[in-house]
Amino acid sequence: MNLTLKTKILLLTILPLVALTLTITWITQRQAQQLAHQQITMLEESIMAQKRQALTDYVSLAMTSITPILEEMDFGLAQSRAEYEIKRIITNLTYGEDGYFFIYDQQGINIVHPAQPELIGQDLMNFRDADGILVIQRLLDQANAGGGFVRYTWMKPSMSGQQHKLSYVVVIPKLNWIIGTGLYVDDIGTQTQVMRDKIDTNIKQTFVTASLLLIVSLILIIIVVVLINLHVTQLADNRLKDLAQRSVSFQVIQRRNVARELHDGINQMLVSAKLRLNLVSKQWPENTAKEHLAKATDMLDRSIQEVRQLSHNMRPVVLDDIGLEPALHSLMDDLAVSSEISVKRRIRLPEARLPDAIEMTLYRLVQEATTNVRKHAQATQVMLRISHSPVSVTVEMEDNGCGFEPEEDANGIGLMNMRERVELIGGRFTVSSRRRQGTLIKAEFLLNPDTTPRETKTT
């Protein structure tokens, strides 16, 4: 299936929006469910904490009721009489519909159990509940450890069935019995399950409503994106045409400059040198011949220098001789030597050599930036930062000079040249500056996918 470029762009724009919308909807639903379950869990924990506090208070009340009898034992009350009185008090001490107290000795024999009198006198040390828990052993362990809670299943008097129960037990001093009470917690699970069902229903209803709204919103977004995309595509086409025209104009100007330099500079000096050499051949016997020969030699030397300068302007020889990084260090060293500016640099380039176009553009960018700093910035500090990722190289040059308003100098020759050089090879160029706040020039160049990164030493 052949698709036009605009259709591909539209699909690349719309499909991520659809995927993002569906993802956000799904994530929102999941988070709502998780939050609801977390709140239910917190509610369960809060209810359990209240029940634990209530159990602690009940046992404390029971201990308070039997403390006078325990104190009388210090004044001669017989242990058998004290045991009788404590059993009588605890047997009659109840609360609520299913609230009662129980007592066991250290051998697991039941002493008091108002809800199930048939258990009194039985050895329940090895009794297991429906979940296999050794209930009495757990109760003894918690009580002997200073008091604690045990959760298990036990007969509920009001329902005549096994239900989950939470008990709190402590040791009765002097008698070495344990006393405790418990609350049934089966109602907590029922209540929370009802809440979970209601929350799930509400979330589903909310999801359906949100889905309808998202579908309508998505349709509107698609319409807006299509319109915007058409507009942006037109702007991009115009920008591409303008950039192509600038590229052609740039090449024409460069060729014109080369032609002018060759004609007005080197050509004239070479012609003069030729004339003077002709005079040498005609006037050799005379003394003036040596003077013409010296001048011709000087002109040829100047011609050679100008050819070298012209060659450097077209392609810096230093890049071929020593490479990009040493060339950049040389530029920064020249700036430091020729001015009173404190120069810092942090250069990290890929291990593989950059493409020629990027290498020369990066060098020219830094060269133009250092020239601007030297001539216009009035700066005392300059920082060059070059970093890279697997797909790009980023150049930042910052000074603390006088700065300028980019709106006022957006069309400056230097900035325009730098921008055009960078954009001509597909890079991005930005300038940030304010008066008396310095200037930051930033350019990003895209690398070939096979460029291997490395880090060089920071100087």
Q: Which SS3 state, helix, strand or coil, does residue 311 take?
A: helix
Q: What is the pLDDT of residue 181?
A: 95
Average pLDDT over residues 418-442: 85
Q: What is the pLDDT of residue 232?
A: 75
Going 193 to 198 to 199 to 205, the CA torsion angle's sign is positive
* Dist CA 406 CA 286 (whole Å): 65
Does a structural domain hold residue 42?
no
Who contacts 402 (Cβ-Cβ below 8 Å, separation ≥6)?
376, 377, 378, 379, 435, 436
Same-domain status, 290 and 326: no
Residue whose pair of structure tokens reads 């030729």 in the numeric block: 274
Same-domain status, 79 and 115: yes
Of 291, 311, 331, the residue that ends a domain is 311
Cβ atoms of residues 184 and 98 within 8 Å: yes
Same-domain status, 292 and 362: no
Does a structural domain hold residue 402?
yes
Residue whose pair of structure tokens reads 């880090």 in the numeric block: 455
Does a structural domain hold residue 87?
yes
pLDDT at 84 over 90: yes
List, for residues 267-300, the tens digit of each pLDDT value: 667 667 767 666 666 666 666 666 766 777 777 7
Q: DSSP per residue over 238-296, as a string? A: HHHHHHHHHHHHHHHHHHHHHHHIIIIIIIHHHHHHHHHHHHHHHHTTSTHHHHHHHHH
Structurally, the chain folds into a number of domains equal to 3
Partner residues linked to 151 by β-bridges: 166
Highest averaged pLDDT of the listed ranges 102-111, 433-442, 447-456: 102-111
Of 184, 219, 247, the residue that ends a domain is 184
Considering only residues 446 and 123, tell me which one the structure prediction assigns the higher pLDDT.
123
DSSP letter, residue 123: B
Who contacts 343 (Cβ-Cβ below 8 Å, separation ≥6)?
332, 333, 335, 336, 382, 384
Considering only residues 334 and 218, tell me which one the structure prediction assigns the higher pLDDT.
334
pLDDT at 257 over 70: no
Considering only residues 53 and 156, tell me which one the structure prediction assigns the higher pLDDT.
53
Same-domain status, 82 and 55: yes
Same-domain status, 303 and 341: no
Average pLDDT over residues 243-248: 59
Q: What is the pLDDT of residue 178?
A: 95
pLDDT at 56 over 90: yes
Q: Given the DSSP bridges, would you call strands 177-184 and 161-172 parallel, antiparallel or unpaired?
A: antiparallel
Percent of the chain with pLDDT over 70: 78
Average pLDDT over residues 29-53: 82
Boundaries of domain holding 281: 232-311
> Please, which pLDDT band fits residue 248 given cuts at 50, 70 and 90?
very low
355: tokens are: 């493409």
Lowest mean pLDDT among 117-121, 205-209, 416-420, 424-428: 205-209
CA angle, corner 79, sides to 75 and 84, nearest 5?
115
Q: Which amino acid is at 271?
A: V
Does a structural domain hold residue 223?
no
Give me the CATH number covering residue 141: 3.30.450.20
Question: Across all residues in the chain, what is the average pLDDT?
Answer: 80
Q: What is the pLDDT of residue 450?
A: 41
List, for residues 302-351, the tens digit of each pLDDT value: 776 676 566 556 556 667 678 888 989 988 998 888 888 899 999 999 88
Who contacts 44 (Cβ-Cβ below 8 Å, separation ≥6)?
188, 192
> Please, which pLDDT band fits residue 407 given cuts at 50, 70 and 90?
low
Same-domain status, 274 and 329: no
Does a structural domain hold residue 57?
yes
Does a structural domain hold residue 259?
yes
Average pLDDT over residues 184-204: 77
Does a structural domain hold residue 454?
no
Average pLDDT over residues 155-173: 87
Q: Which amino acid is at 202?
A: N
* Dist CA 426 CA 420 (whole Å): 10
CA angle, corner 214, sides to 211 and 218, nearest 5?
140
DSSP letter, residue 118: G
Does a structural domain hold residue 56?
yes
Cite the DSSP H helix spans in 339-430: 356-372, 413-424
Q: What is the pLDDT of residue 373?
A: 87
pLDDT at 254 over 60: yes
Same-domain status, 69 and 165: yes
